[in-house]
Amino acid sequence: MNQISNTLLNRRTIRKYTPEPVDRKLLNDLLTKACRASTTGNMQVYSIIITSDPGKKRELAPFHFNQSMVTEAPVVLTFCADFNRFNKWCRERKADPGYDNFLSFFTAAIDALLVAQTFCIAAEAKGLGICYLGTTTYMAHEIIKVLKLPIGVVPVTTVTLGWPAEKPEQVDRLPLEAVIHEETYKLYSSEAIDRFYFEKEQRTDSQQFVKENKKETLAQVFTDVRYKKEDNVHFSKLLLGVLEEQGFMNH
């Protein structure tokens, strides 16, 4: 198998790291590769904040719900949607930027996520381990303060990086057929749902999960425990507030 196939097919999220630092030259090399990712209009409307200072990591940790990776990984990267720099360039060149709206935020968020995922592949290809942190969008208002993000900048995801100190089992994926539609979208029948989720539902770890949480189905673990409506509504409101504050909601 060639190296790219091997990297993509055998990857798994790594949440435990050795204390060995990530060499700055290697990190810069990975960041250079990441910044080759496609970007809207070649505007590169993103910024990446490197956190390696232990004190700064401790400051960030509560806003990632104290997930151990934040303080244990040698490097924490916060990928931000960023129109601040581009807007400034425009203004200094007698151009009037019209990027204080939701579409522009979404554009910049796409750019930031593409650069993040490209970084992750480059890192994994070098044998490093990564873990995304979804807490970034939940607690963006606090992360903005810790990282001193100015107007026009919103953190969209965080990646912890380090040398793996574990090799967990790969987790399941739905069969390819479940996520692919030929030419147009095909609605899922009940029978198709049963078939596509069968393997996931039969796994011992899934069944254990259902039992531990005293639920009847695996789906209920998602709806009632892991990603609850009340939390989603609460964090949505916070995030919409952040977009307003950071200047992306010029209605």
Q: Which residues bind ligand FMN (CB under 6 A)?
A: 12-13, 15, 67, 131-135, 157, 171
Residue 49 Cβ vs ligand FMN, minimum distance, rounded to whole Å: 17
Q: Is residue 187 exposed (0-12), middle (13-18) or buried (19+ Cβ within 10 Å)?
A: exposed
Residue 157 Cβ vs ligand FMN, minimum distance, rounded to whole Å: 6
Instruction: Please report, as a single letter, which amino acid is at residue 169.
Output: E
Closest by CA to 134, choosing from 179, 70, 210, is 70
Q: Give the Cα-Cα-Cα angle 136, 218, 166 (nearest 5 degrees).
A: 55
Residue 184 Cβ vs ligand FMN, minimum distance, rounded to whole Å: 27
Residue 191 Cβ vs ligand FMN, minimum distance, rounded to whole Å: 26
Residue 28 or 66: which CB sits closer to ligand FMN? 66
Are 158 and 76 within 8 A, CB to CB? yes
Residue 120 Cβ vs ligand FMN, minimum distance, rounded to whole Å: 9
**CB closest to ligand FMN, residue no:** 134
Buried (b) or exposed (e) across 132-150, using 16+ Cβ within 10 A? bbebbbbbbbbbbebbebe
Residue 2 Cβ vs ligand FMN, minimum distance, rounded to whole Å: 20
Residue 86 or 120: which CB sits closer to ligand FMN? 120
Residue 98 Cβ vs ligand FMN, minimum distance, rounded to whole Å: 29
Residue 86 or 116: which CB sits closer to ligand FMN? 116
Residue 179 or 187: which CB sits closer to ligand FMN? 179
- Where are the strands (E) in 11-127, listed by range? 46-51, 75-82
188 vs 65: CA distance, rounded Å: 36
Closest by CA to 141, choosing from 160, 154, 125, is 154
Closest by CA to 122, choosing from 207, 197, 22, 51, is 22
126 vs 128: CA distance, rounded Å: 6
Residue 112 or 153: which CB sits closer to ligand FMN? 112
Residue 65 or 198: which CB sits closer to ligand FMN? 65
DSSP, collapsed to helix, strand or coil, labels residue 83 as coil
Are 152 and 87 within 8 A, CB to CB? yes
Tokens of 110: 């796409």
Residue 67 or 220: which CB sits closer to ligand FMN? 67
